[in-house]
A and B are shown apart, each in its own frame.
Chain A
């Protein structure tokens, strides 16, 4: 994780050992003398991604405040399935956290197990959303609420799908002799940060789309 190259004077005073460590750990030479800032970069990207959602949320709330729906349309939605989905997603954040803990503890088998559980919960969420889509009484272009509903949940579902793919890749890398080990697990941490972000977005989305 953290490069151990000397902080004061990168380059000239580096011992061979420190240099080897720096080369092992850093993504490239540009990290000389610096910590690993890849998670920082990902977090910045997630801020940007969150702003896309914020734009969608603002649009939805404004539509809802000022644009009356046609006769016979309603903002009410069936709550049972999405509530189960919400619970599944929140649990999956904890199972992912557990996977990260096992990885740092050096137990790769348990890491893979907890990753599989997390991925399974993600797939279950997507399946639940599919069932909901097919059972809804409205289609994409029926009215403004319907369009916004599908745009919001669809954009979020795309994020969950990407997350599940990331989990599958990370689980594959966590095999013995793979890229992920107790000392080097950036991929896992990145996927975990992303997954927590997707969960957090869902909680907001659930609140304003289903409960409001």
Chain B
């Protein structure tokens, strides 16, 4: 008996074949794909909701749906996209699939906790989506659920919303604990922290943020539910409560949440760029320190969301300076990516197109972010479409572009087949044009004073809103080539082989798709995941 055949412990007890994707599987690869597919279904739902919003906003009057319904759609769109698509996919899906490979392990540190974390998501999502039917009305107070608004809108829908977000928060915390333990404690002996692929560092930083900030949101939402159900007055000014405390606690989670969504994307793009540019990742050490600096700064900038909430001047000053500082580590990462590309043998395939577009979109969203950190400017555009535009440049232009890039990059590993490049480029072109058409005009709308979260607007804003809606239509159409591509190539695509990109990170040093327990025999010890151009571009397996 040896440990080299560990399927005795795991595999024989678990269903195999397609059925395992519907089971309480403990295999990190199965769980990763469960996250990915589940998240993508919610992306389609959230996208349909976004389509409804842009249809409504194509004309100045609220003629497509009643105003209350518009508020429900807007709340569900935000909550679904953040908590059910981006956070689970960019952390849970790729994290679960890749991290055990990167640390040279056969699974995550706590496989059962991992499965529990995933299986909290479908019920939470179904609960949220069905709140319209089971509670009579879905939540209407936006994804921020600010009191007193969330106390005056229909209570049942809001309570279901809170319950759903609590379940998703719990899932996120369990995932974060698992990633920290896996990266710090489950590395293959001999593998040092500074030899890990960059995505490990990104996930370590993200998980630290998850563990430190998500519980605060959970506690806050519990207090909010007391206000709604038991009529306490924590956040109810009519009962002597304090709404600004809610905002502080909410943003203590929800600002780091932006980094929970975007740091893993930084990590993924740091894996993709070196492979397709055939060059080592530039500035590995500065990348690591930048991630940790972003984690630290990300925890102390939350009140820049509250410059119009009666924030005292010293607080404005502190949070403006701290927020502006984040541009430094982020800028370091940006220039490191450019330097990685510089002089490389760049293959402009779909994965690379989406990655490069990420860099472009993200720098634009980053610049408007620095602008928003300045108090006078923020007061001018607060609660306008400028903020909506900025936010979508970060989470869609940033993270979702990277999710698509990662899909094209790792799909051969997931399924053993290559995605079709022509369909991939068509998907990219439609997404890139649609995205910029949809969200760039929103900056102009915001600067001219169009408030966010309204179903009706002044007719002078009509043209730009219609441009934005056409962009949204293009983004909706862009999903069609993606879906065709994923389904058709899974059945009938070109066979990928173990390592179609000639990549050096450990997940490529096994078959596609990988076996249960990841490797037949011993895990390879990869100490130079970015050693391109140094060893004739062949995968390097260094023995301890």
Residues of A within 8 A of B (CB): 5, 7-12, 14, 16, 19, 22, 28-30, 32-35, 37-38, 40-41, 44-45, 47-56, 58-59, 62-63, 66-67, 69-70, 140-141, 143-144, 147-148, 151, 155
Query: Is A51 a contact partner of B213 (Cβ separation < 8 A)?
Result: yes
Q: Are B181 and A28 in contact (CB under 8 A)?
A: no
Contact with A along B113-136 (1 / 0, CB 8 A): 100000000000000000000000
- For residue B216, which residue of chain A has the nearest CB? A55
Q: Which residues of A contact B2 (CB under 8 A)?
A: 11-12, 14, 19
- Rounded to whole angstroms, the CA-CA distance of A11 and B249 in the bound complex is 48
Q: Which residue of B lies closest to A10 (CB)?
A: B3
Taken residue by residue from 149 to 187, chain B's Cβ proximity to chain A (1 for < 8 Å, 0 otherwise) reads as 000000000000000000000000100111011001110
Residue pairs across A and B with Cβ atoms less than 8 A apart, 28 shown, are A5-B3, A8-B190, A8-B544, A10-B522, A11-B2, A11-B521, A12-B522, A29-B107, A30-B106, A30-B108, A30-B111, A33-B188, A40-B181, A40-B185, A41-B110, A44-B180, A48-B173, A51-B213, A52-B219, A58-B248, A59-B245, A62-B248, A63-B245, A66-B242, A141-B239, A144-B241, A147-B234, A151-B226
Q: Is the CB of A30 within 8 A of B109?
A: yes
Smallest CB separation, A4 vs chain B (Å): 13
Known A30-B105, A33-B189, A62-B245; contact A19-B233, beta-carbon cutoff 8 A = no
Is B322 close to A, CB under 8 A? no
- We find that the number of chain B residues with CB closer than 8 angstroms to chain A is 56
Q: Cβ of B142: which chain A residues have Cβ within 8 Å of it?
A: none
Query: In the complex, what residues of B have CB within 8 A of residue A155's CB?
Result: 219
B311 at the interface (CB under 8 A from A): no
Which of these, B3, B6, B216, B248, contacts A52 with CB under 8 Å?
Answer: B216
| Contact of A56 (CB < 8 Å), options: B184, B219, B522 | B219
A41-B177, A44-B181 known; A11+B233 contact, CB < 8 A: no
Nearest chain A CB to B13 CB, angstrom units: 11
Contact A48 B177 (CB under 8 A): yes
* Residues of the A chain whose Cβ atoms lie less than 8 Å from the Cβ of B214: 48
Asked if B241 contacts A67 (CB within 8 A), the reply is: yes
* Cβ of B357 under 8 Å from chain A: no
Q: Which residues of B contact A (CB under 8 A)?
A: 1-4, 6, 9-10, 105-111, 113, 173, 176-178, 180-181, 184-186, 188-190, 211-216, 218-220, 222-223, 226, 230-234, 239-242, 245, 248-249, 252, 517, 521-522, 544
Partner of B242, one of A28, A35, A50, A67: A67
Contact check: which of A41, A51, A140 meets B109 at CB < 8 Å?
A41
Please determine whether B4 and A11 come into contact, CB atoms closer than 8 angstroms.
yes
Question: Which B residues lie within 8 Å of A48 (CB)?
Answer: 173, 176-177, 211-212, 214-215
In whole angstroms, how far apart are the Cα atoms of A55 and B106 in the complex? 37
Contacts of B230 in A (CB 8 A): 140-141
From A50, which residue of chain B is reached at the shortest CB distance?
Answer: B215
Q: Name which residue of chain B comes closest to A57, CB basis.
A: B219
User: For A45, what are the chain B residues with a Cβ–Cβ distance below 8 Å?
Assistant: 173, 177
Contact yes or no, B216 A51, CB < 8 A: yes
A54 contacts across to B, CB distance below 8 A: 216
Q: Within the assembled complex, what's the spacing in Å between the Cα atoms of A35 and B517?
A: 19
Residues of A within 8 A of B180 (CB): 44
B3 touches A32 (CB 8 A): yes
Whether the pair B239, A144 counts as a contact (CB closer than 8 A) is: yes
- In the complex, how many angstroms separate the beta carbon of A43 from the nearest chain B beta carbon? 9
**Interface contact B242-A62, CB-CB below 8 Å:** yes
A40: B residues at CB distance < 8 A: 181, 184-185
Q: How far is the CB of A15 from chain B (nearest CB, A)?
A: 10
Closest to B184 in A: A40
Q: Bound complex: CA of A147 vs CA of B235, how far in Å?
A: 11
Q: Indicate if the CB atoms of B189 and A47 lie closer than 8 Å.
A: no
* A148 contacts B177, C-beta separation under 8 Å: no
Q: Residue on B with the closest CB to A49?
A: B215
Given contacts A144-B233, A147-B226, 11 further A-B contacts (CB under 8 A): A9-B544, A11-B4, A19-B1, A19-B3, A30-B105, A40-B181, A45-B177, A48-B215, A59-B223, A63-B245, A144-B240
Partner of B189, one of A7, A144, A148: A7
> Quick check: A37 and B219 within 8 Å, CB to CB?
no
